Amino acid sequence: MLLGVGLGPGDPELLTYRAVRAIREADEVIVPGKMAYALIAHIREPRTVEFPMGSGIEVAKRLGAELAERCEEEDVAFCCIGDPSLYSTFQYVAGEVSARNPRVRIETVPGITGASAALSRLGLFVDDSLLITTSTSLEAKMCVVLKATRPRELAEQLRQRGYREFFLAERVFMEGERTEHLDELPETSSYFTMVVARKSSSDEQHDEV
């Protein structure tokens, strides 16, 4: 199995129990740089694979080729700052492994995001819509809507804004969890439901890490 482990914003005290357990139990632990190394060196010695700016994609391809073979039999944890699902190097490695060997199981351990850490430090609270982006464009390619109790109606509104793919995530990491990629969303759902909308899968393509 290939496991992407989120290390949070940079404080070892903000590592989750699940992240620490994954690091301890993996056959090998890989980090993409010095900051991630320093965060987990007290737990175990990781292997460092540098991803230089401008050549990160090539590094991801080489590492992906290696892990596509190894991760059928071994559990490898790739640890990154923040959350592995949000603007992380892990997505490139995971994509390469998946393309080379679909039999490899790929999972992620979520970490506290930089955005959450910044809001905490600033004493700010979010009670309405929020855009998180690395671009100067305010047009988001992916949208996450919390408390989506009327998913079908919401999907129709999002389609008018150009979103074409829809995912339902209900009671995530709770009892009764449900996660699906759906063409048609249910009419109603519980309070603990999120709808993730994406304009197109091609929007995931990037030129460099």
Local confidence pLDDT in tens for the 209 residues of the chain: 999 999 999 999 999 999 999 999 999 999 999 999 999 999 999 999 999 888 899 999 999 999 999 999 999 999 999 999 999 999 999 999 999 999 999 999 999 999 999 889 989 898 888 888 776 667 789 899 989 999 999 999 999 999 999 999 999 888 999 999 988 899 999 999 999 999 976 544 444 44
Provide the 3-class DSSP secondary structure of residue 35: helix
Whether 52 contacts 64, CB under 8 Å: no
Residues 85 and 149 in one domain: no
Whether 82 contacts 113, CB under 8 Å: yes
Residues 60 and 105 in one domain: yes
What CATH code is carried by the domain that includes residue 24?
Answer: 3.40.1010.10
DSSP state of 34: H
Domain assignment present for 130: no
Note the pLDDT of residue 201: 60
Mark which of 62, 80, 115 sits at the end of a domain: 115
Residues 104 and 190 in one domain: no
Q: Which domain holds residue 68?
A: 2-115
Domain assignment present for 56: yes
Residues 58 and 149 in one domain: no
Residues 107 and 150 in one domain: no
Q: What single string gives the DSSP state of each residue in 98-161?
A: HHH-TTS-EEEE----HHHHHHHHHT----S-----SSS----SEEEESS-SSHHHHHHHHHTT
Note the pLDDT of residue 54: 84
Here the tokens at position 100 are: 């080379």
Note the pLDDT of residue 9: 94
DSSP state of 46: P
Whether 171 contacts 177, CB under 8 Å: yes
Domain assignment present for 136: no
Note the pLDDT of residue 204: 46
| pTM metric for this prediction | 0.82
Number of domains the chain is built from: 2
Note the pLDDT of residue 136: 67
Residues 35 and 102 in one domain: yes
For 7, phi then psi, to 5°, come to -100, 0
